[in-house]
Chains A and B, each alone.
Chain A
Amino acid sequence: MTGKITLEKKVLSENDRLAAEIRQVLNRNGVAALNLVSSPGSGKTSLLEKTIGALAGELRIGLIAGDVQTDNDAVRLVKAGARMVRPIVTGGACHLDARMVSRVLPELDLENMDLLFVENVGNLVCPSSYDLGEDMKVVVISTTEGDDKPLKYPAMFRRSSVMVINKIDLLGTSDFDMENVKANARSINAGLTIFDVSCRTGEGLESWFAWLRAFVAEKKQGMHGA
């Protein structure tokens, strides 16, 4: 004989609670927040460098850069001209969680920030489970990966709102097919907003920048409307 004790508790309830707190703080300050995820090396830091280089004059951008062992990415982003960069060295953890973000959040000047990027650890599996309080997840994929990647990591592509296809300057050097990757991604998430870019040549970045401007403006409007 056994007795049944009902729990019905989310395993990540503590993470979700902290993420909700973070979201509240960001919303109160009107900060638009994006969580960048990808496989290792798809180009998250490169995309951020280009973005900061182009937009730092008009938007106040903050960054939280997660890395497993080093703060290299954070250093690159400071060089690119970001004013407020906070590294999180996860010490081996394969993802960022809300606790790590909430620890560094007080060090950021949120009152004077329009847009906050969180560069997650390069990994398409684990980060999908952890809400960090962001408005949206942006998944970066590069043309040097397989175009079936969305099918292999459906949870991540389902939970992302934007997909950036990077390294289009290398198209043609492999059998990566742009139409395939988009069809695969859309079969998992029909609502994805997709950008084709090269952080090397700059191609396609303008529309990404335009989208970011609109996204930030919308967030500010939401705040004033509230």
Chain B
Amino acid sequence: MHELSIADSIIKTVLHEIEVKQLPAVKRIVVRIGALSGVVPDALEFGFEALVIDTPLERSRLVIEYLPVRGKCRECGKDFEVENFLFACPHCASGAVDVTQGEELDIAYLDVEDESPPERHAPS
């Protein structure tokens, strides 16, 4: 279960980003998780929810885009989805397959409140 430390890295990265760019409240954190990344989405969500308590991200939602494995055949050059982790080309049966998608473990983007926090009315 290293999802907890992955969640921790995500949170730290986003908090750093908020500070550096002076971002308003973050609504959604969109991450991309490939099927070959070794990360289990449910466990990651669980870890995220446990770790954001009492941080500025407490109200942010973690959105996981889960990407299936795709490969490209080195023999015939065709692209295809690798089903059930069977790394063989469905066109020519070659096992020489390069992974083109599925290794991702990326923070893609953040959705933030459009405006900086509403201006306070000066006490009259």
Q: Is B one of A's binding partners?
A: yes
A155 touches B38 (CB 8 A): yes
Residue of A nearest to B115 (CB): A1
A5 touches B21 (CB 8 A): yes
What are 17 A-B contacts defined by CB distance under 8 Å?
A2-B111, A2-B113, A3-B24, A3-B111, A3-B113, A3-B114, A5-B109, A7-B109, A11-B9, A11-B13, A11-B107, A93-B5, A154-B85, A158-B99, A187-B86, A187-B87, A191-B96
List chain A residues, Cβ under 8 A from B99: 158
B-side interface residues, number (CB < 8 Å)? 37
> Which of B13-29 touch A at CB < 8 Å?
13, 17, 21, 23-24, 27-28
B1 touches A5 (CB 8 A): no
Q: In whole angstroms, what is the CA distance A191 to B97 when docked? A: 10
Instruction: Determine whether A8 belongs to the interface, using a CB cutoff of 8 Å to chain B.
Output: yes
A4 touches B110 (CB 8 A): yes
Majority-rule SS of B interface residues: mixed
Instruction: Determine whether A94 belongs to the interface, using a CB cutoff of 8 Å to chain B.
Output: yes
Instruction: Determine whether B100 belongs to the interface, using a CB cutoff of 8 Å to chain A.
Output: no
Least CB distance, A96 to chain B, in whole angstroms: 11
Convert A1-17 into 0s and 1s, putting 1 for each residue whose CB lies closer than 8 angstroms to a CB of B.
Answer: 11111111111101000
The one of A3, A10, A189 that contacts B87, using a Cβ cutoff of 8 Å: A189
Residue of A nearest to B21 (CB): A5
A interface residue numbers (CB < 8 A to B) = 1-12, 14, 93-95, 97, 125-126, 128-130, 151, 154-156, 158, 186-191
Least CB distance, A187 to chain B, in whole angstroms: 5
Residue of A nearest to B26 (CB): A5
B17 touches A5 (CB 8 A): yes
Least CB distance, A156 to chain B, in whole angstroms: 8
A to B contact number (C-beta, < 8 Å): 101
B108 touches A2 (CB 8 A): no
A4 touches B106 (CB 8 A): no
B9 touches A151 (CB 8 A): no
Residue of B nearest to A154 (CB): B85
B112 touches A11 (CB 8 A): no
Least CB distance, A204 to chain B, in whole angstroms: 24
Instruction: Determine whether B39 belongs to the interface, using a CB cutoff of 8 Å to chain A.
Output: yes
Instruction: Determine whether B51 belongs to the interface, using a CB cutoff of 8 Å to chain A.
Output: no
Instruction: Determine whether B78 belongs to the interface, using a CB cutoff of 8 Å to chain A.
Output: no
Instruction: Determine whether B2 belongs to the interface, using a CB cutoff of 8 Å to chain A.
Output: yes
B106 touches A190 (CB 8 A): no
Least CB distance, A121 to chain B, in whole angstroms: 10
Q: In whole angstroms, what is the CA distance A155 to B113 when docked? A: 37
* Given A5-B112, A11-B13, A158-B36, also A188-B85 (CB < 8 A): yes
* Given A8-B106, A94-B2, also A128-B38 (CB < 8 A): yes
Least CB distance, A129 to chain B, in whole angstroms: 4
List chain A residues, Cβ under 8 A from B56: none
Instruction: Determine whether B77 belongs to the interface, using a CB cutoff of 8 Å to chain A.
Output: no
List chain A residues, Cβ under 8 A from B87: 158, 187-190
